[in-house]
Amino acid sequence: MCGPADFEALQTCIVRVLALSSAGLGTYVVRQTVQALSDLRGKKPERLEAVPAADSCDVLARGGHAEYSSR
Amino acid sequence: MVAWENRAGTLGSLKRCGIALLIGVAGGAIFLFLFPGGALSTLMHEVLHLPGPGAGIALVVGPIALLCILLAASVLGRFGGATLAAVGFSGMCVVVSAVLTLAGGEKGMFGSPWFIAAIGTCGLLADILLWATKRATAPLRFAVAAAGANIGLLLFFWLLIFPRTKGWVLLQDVPVLLAVCLAGGLVAGALGWILSKRIPGILFRLSVR
């Protein structure tokens, strides 16, 4: 790179840096959001497991916990 | 010490060589996209008021190239990864400059084989320094390799390229430019180390300890 000052090229450079940075940041945010949502969905089956069974025999078959034997 | 995750034999090594090369190529493309002709020189001399020649090499070209070089070295996990990426980076710059007949690269001979030689030497230096510091901790290895290779790159330009295009650097500008070069190299080394720990498994991330 040589010659006289080229502020137009510098302006283009700044715009491109900002654009690339925004794209990178946006990608990172999207990726983190998707990961968080996947983790959230991944936890739901565990919560369903913790819901007490209507049938007490079912609870006993599973070796149910004391907190589910209160009915 | 660095522990390499060696997935499978030759095919895995070839794949990683390809990835190391692609990292360099991608880095070259990004560099050319971000810095159109004249922008680098204007930024260094008109905005930052740094002396020349060599400020752009020390603060921008070298660190960006070294970031790609160190990432590629992490991916390949053996001697040669940095050199491969350096060749990819500089080759990309030369090819794109030639195809698009980009203007503004005459001072640093960006479109010439001299540029490939310069960046290639930088990559080789990084490989040698990474190998020489293999008993040190990873952050130190990256810092030494990046700083040393960046200074080597600047010296290459000062001794072999700039005398043909711009002239010799003034003695009174040498300390400032060397300090800038060292700082740029250290920043590149730090970023390279941080990113090398975060690259997804598809790039054969290494466990660095």
- Partner-chain residue, chosen from B30, B43, B106, that has the shortest CB–CB distance to A2: B106
Residue B10 lies in a domain: no
Residue B196 lies in a domain: yes
* B127, B164 contact by CB (below 8 A): no
- Partner-chain residue, chosen from B41, B46, B47, that has the shortest CB–CB distance to A2: B41
- Interface pTM (ipTM) of the complex? 0.76
CA distance A64 to chain B (A): 40
Bond into B139 cis (ω within 30): no
Please state the domain count of chain B.
Answer: 1
Residue B1 lies in a domain: no
pLDDT in tens, B111-135: 788 999 999 999 999 999 999 998 9
SS3 at position A17: helix
Non-local (6+) Cβ contacts of A16 within 8 A are B33, B34, B36
In which domain, by residue range, is B156 found?
17-28+52-201
Residue B12 lies in a domain: no
Residue B38 lies in a domain: no
Residue B5 lies in a domain: no
Interchain proximity B108–A1, CB inside 8 Å? yes
Residue B34 lies in a domain: no
Interchain proximity B34–A10, CB inside 8 Å? no
| Identity of the amino acid at B189 | G
List the structure tokens of A27.
């990608």
CA–CA separation, B186 vs B76, rounded Å?
22
Non-local (6+) Cβ contacts of B154 within 8 A are B54, B57, B58, B62, B177, B178, B181
Provide the whole-model pTM. 0.77
pLDDT in tens, B141-191: 999 999 999 999 999 999 999 998 888 999 999 999 999 999 999 999 999
Residue B206 lies in a domain: no
